[in-house]
Amino acid sequence: MPAVTPIEIRDEDLALITYDANGLVPAIVQEHGTGEILMMAWMNETTLRRTLEEGRTVFWSRSRQEEWRKGDTSGDRQFVREAHFDCDGDTLLFVVEQEGNGACHTGEFSCFYRAFGPDAGTS
């Protein structure tokens, strides 16, 4: 199992994050080392705090309306190596070590396996 590296929660950091009308902020997940974009999901303040505390990504599932600790069901956990926020504080970026088969529920390693246009194809 990859090392777990919690990130210290600082009030001055959290104060810079803004949430949408549903109390959510989008979180991009990028693979450590390769730079591949794995997925995008949503966090509320509680799951953002849990992600930093536990060093694993924890999201808010909009469809199920519940916390979703990535990999608890699938085994494909994400261990946080870097945690960034953008200039407006309204988007998060986590650089992770991806465990198991990848990030996508389809079995693909990345959720962005499809591309626009005929050359790339819609697999």
* Contact residues for a copy of itself, defined by CB under 8 A: 7-10, 12-13, 16, 26, 28, 30, 34-37, 39-40, 52, 82-88, 91, 93, 104-106, 108, 111-118, 120, 122
Strand residues in 16-85 grouped as ranges (E): 25-31, 37-43, 58-61, 66-69, 78-85
47-66 exposure pattern, b = at least 16 Cβ within 10 A, e = fewer: bbebbbeebbbbbbeeeeee
> Shortest approach of a copy of itself to residue 113 CB, angstroms?
7
Q: Shortest approach of a copy of itself to residue 2 CB, angstroms?
A: 18
Name the minimum Å distance from CB 11 to a copy of itself.
Answer: 11
